[in-house]
Structure 1
Amino acid sequence: MKNNLSIVLLLGIALSATSCATIFTGTKDKIAFNSNPEGAVVFHKGVEKCSTPCTAEITRSLGKQTVTFEKEGFNKKEVKLTKTFNPVSLLNIILGGAIGIGIDAATGSLTKYSPKKYDVELEAKQ
């Protein structure tokens, strides 16, 4: 009886601490970037991610996220990354994981980037 109670208690703690979206979908999304003309460098939070056409992993966050496209002879172009609700985080509610919701919020996993592809038209400098 005592052993069964221990198992139930441990299972309850594990389920209440579950951060489902973080565990199942991670904290980053792969996003494809294209530009016209090609060869623009993509920056996220001031860090160079790739040169178009390319795919880069972008860390999720609840705050506003932007990427900047830069190419010599062209104006910089800043693009806001759009997000949608990550339905996997609902498992926290079903499993009663208030701690899990907090972890998913802290890691940005309550949301996911959508769309997963951005096409940008760069304007030549005058």
Structure 2
Amino acid sequence: MGYTELKTYLVAGVVASSVLLAGCGTVVRGTTEDIKIYVEPEHAKITSTTAHTCVGPCVINVPRKKEFTLTASAPGYQTQVIDVETRVSGKGAAGMAGNVLLGGVIGVGVDAATGATLDHYPNPVNFILKRGKGSRKLTPAEIKMMNKAEAPTS
């Protein structure tokens, strides 16, 4: 193998590595996130606007950039609704910094498009259904208070 061929392979390898590492957050964190859902009573049905359905407690996997709503319901209990939003996380910000150092503009674009810099909030999601009929959407203060309480272990 001649010098010209070796040089061509090295350049191709550097270009391929740059493309593969372009989205640091995407590579390290992935484009989806597991959302843990705890509910009392445990037999309550959980539905989401992402078309996931399960019986609590459960875990659903959703795209990092997708905001959605969860609903918990059980016979004899009030239905509760919680909005799950996205926020830039500390780990996502670190991945973005890695892009600036290694991946450049392409990496920033890839991570922004895939949502790799985002985390869902709240996560875990905690429902405590109250006896009775009807439906209610929890206030942000109620969600914050419930998330401060220790989530049940599975």
What is the TM-score of this pair, normalised by structure 1? Answer: 0.76
State the match for 1:51 in structure 2.
55
Aligned ranges 1:30-69 → 2 under 5 Å: 30-61=34-65, 64-69=67-72
Aligned ranges 1:73-112 → 2 under 5 Å: 73-82=76-85, 83-85=87-89, 86=92, 87-112=94-119
SS class of match (1:47): coil
Deviates most, 48-57 or 12-21: 12-21
Shift of 1:91: 1.4
SS class of match (1:95): helix
Larger radius of gyration: 2
Q: Does 1:26 align with 2:26?
A: no
For structure 1, the 5+ residue unaligned runs are: none
For structure 2, the 5+ residue unaligned runs are: 135-154
SS class of match (2:52): strand
Give me the identity figure in percent.
Answer: 25
Separation of aligned partners in 1, 2:59 and 2:8: 49
For CA contacts below 8 A with separation 6 or more, give which structure has more relative contact order.
1
Separation of aligned partners in 2, 1:48 and 1:16: 34
SS class of match (2:113): helix
State the match for 1:70 in structure 2.
73
| Number of residue pairs matched by the alignment | 125
Shift of 1:111: 0.7
Higher helix share: 2
The alpha-carbon distance between structure 1 residues 23 and 37, as it changes in their structure 2 partners (threshold 3 A), is same
